Structure 1
Amino acid sequence: MRTSLPKKKMNHSELTSSGFWVGHILMIIATIAGVYLAAQAGLQQAILFDDVIARQNNYFLRQSLYEELQDNVAILKEYDQSYLSRGISANQIKANSPKISRYVWETMKYSQTTLETPSYFLGETRRFYAQVNDIIAKRESFTYGPQHASKLMQAQLENMENNVLPKLKANTQYLATYLEAFDVYVDDIKGVDGKATL
C-alpha cells in the first residue's frame, strides 16, 4: 500500500500583489530603454566615425587637387612668358608645348569622394583645363596670335590664382580644422612632420 506524501501548498499570494507586477513591468521597460539607448549611442558613434573618415578622404583629395592646380598654374605662367606670348615658329611652339599634370584630376574619375567635392571646384577645374587646352591648340595652329593667346591664358591663370585656388585652400583648411576637433591631425597622417602615423 502506497502512502501519499502530503502536498505542499505553494504561496502565490505575491502574484496577486500590485507591487510585483509594477516592479516587473518597470524592469522590462528599463531593459527595453537600455537596449534602445545603447543602440542609439552605437549608431551615433558609427555615423560620426563614417563622417570623420569621409572628411579625411575629402581633405586628401582636395589638397592633392589644390597642389596639382598650383603646379600647373606655375608651369603655364612660365610657358606663357617663354613661348605662348612670343612670335615664334610653329615648330618651336609645338616642340615646347607645356607638360601639365592631370594625374589627380584623372584619378578623381574613379574616386567615390569626388562627387562630395563642391561643384564649384569641379566646374572651375574642368573649365580651366578645357580653356587652357583650347588656347594652346589654337596658338599652335596659329588660329590665335601670340598677344591674343597670351591675354586669354593670363585671364585663366588669374582666375585660378585669385579665385579658385584661395577658395580651395580655405576649403581644405576648414576640413583640417574640423578633423582636429576629433583628434585627427592630417599633417601627422601625411608624415610631413617627419613621423608618419597609421
Structure 2
Amino acid sequence: MMSVENFNEIKKTSFWVSQLFILVSTVVGVFLAANQGYQQAVQFENMTSYKENYYLQKSLQYELQDNIAILKELMIRLQDPNYFGARNESPNFYSLVWENMKYSKTTLGTPPEFLRLAQQFYRNIATTQQKIAKGDISIPSGIKQFQAQIDIIEQQLIPALEKSTEQIKKELDGTSVIL
C-alpha cells in the first residue's frame, strides 16, 4: 500500500507536470495564432497591392489609348494644307493617371519597362512636336516619328499591360478581392 507521503509526492509531481504542459501548450498556441495572423496580414497586403496595381495599369493603358487617338487626330490635321495652325498645335493629352502616378506607392509595383516605354512616348512626342513647331523637321518627317511612337505603344506596351493585368486577375481569382 502507498503511504500518504508518497501519494502527496505524486500529486505534487503531477501538478507540476500538468502546469508545464499548460505552459507549453499556451506558448505553442500563441505562436501558432500569431503566425497565422501574420500570414493573413501579409496575404491581405499582397491582395491589396495586386488590386491597386491592376487598376493603375488598366488606367495607364486606357489613358495611353486615348492619347494615341488624340495624336492620330493631330496627325490628320497636320496633313491638311488648309490648316495653318497645325504646325504649332501640340496634342492636348490626358495626363491624370500619368501625373498622379508620381504620388502613388503602387507606381513602383509596376514593371519598370512599362513606365519606361510610357515615359519615352510622352517625351518623344513632345520633342517631335517642338521640332515641328520650330521648323527643325518637316511635317511628314514628324508624322513618321509620331507613328513610330504610336507603333511602340500599340505593339509593345498595350499588349504588355493587357498581359500583366490578366496575370494579376488570375492571381486574384479565387480570393475575396473583387475587381
Regarding TM over 0.5, the answer is: yes
- Using the alignment, how far apart are the partners of 1:87 and 1:170 within structure 2? 41
- Using the alignment, how far apart are the partners of 2:81 and 2:136 within structure 1? 13
**CA shift at 1:124, angstroms?**
0.7
Determine if the alignment matches structure 1 residue 122 to structure 2 residue 148: no
- Using the alignment, how far apart are the partners of 1:12 and 1:70 within structure 2? 85
Determine if the alignment matches structure 1 residue 66 to structure 2 residue 64: no
Aligned residue number for residue 51 of structure 1: 46
Q: Which has the higher helix share?
A: 2
CA contact (8 A) 1:124 1:164 kept: yes
Aligned runs of 1:23-102 on 2, under 5 Å? 23-83=18-78, 85=79, 91-94=85-88, 96-102=89-95
With structure 1 as the length reference, what TM-score do the two structures score?
0.80
What letter is aligned with 2:30?
V
Aligned residue number for residue 113 of structure 1: 106
**CA shift at 1:97, angstroms?**
2.9
**CA shift at 1:21, angstroms?**
3.5
Give per-residue Cα distances to partners, 1:150-178, cap 9 Å, x unaligned: 11111100010001111011111211221
Q: 1:90 to 1:141 in 2, by over 3 A?
A: farther
Aligned residue number for residue 14 of structure 1: 10
Residue 26 of structure 1 aligns to a residue in which SS?
helix
What is the root-mean-square deviation of aligned Cα atoms in Å? 2.1
Structure 1 unaligned residues grouped into runs of 5+: 1-8, 187-198
| Match among 130, 141, 158 for residue 165 of structure 1 | 158
Aligned residue number for residue 126 of structure 2: 133
| Match among 128, 134, 148 for residue 155 of structure 1 | 148
- Using the alignment, how far apart are the partners of 1:170 and 1:57 within structure 2? 16
- Using the alignment, how far apart are the partners of 1:16 and 1:105 within structure 2? 73
**CA shift at 1:99, angstroms?**
1.2
- Using the alignment, how far apart are the partners of 1:13 and 1:89 within structure 2? 107
Structure 2 unaligned residues grouped into runs of 5+: none
Stretches (4+) displaced over 6 A: none
Q: 1:137 to 1:87 in 2, by over 3 A?
A: farther
- Using the alignment, how far apart are the partners of 2:41 and 2:138 within structure 1? 59
- Using the alignment, how far apart are the partners of 1:128 and 1:88 within structure 2? 28
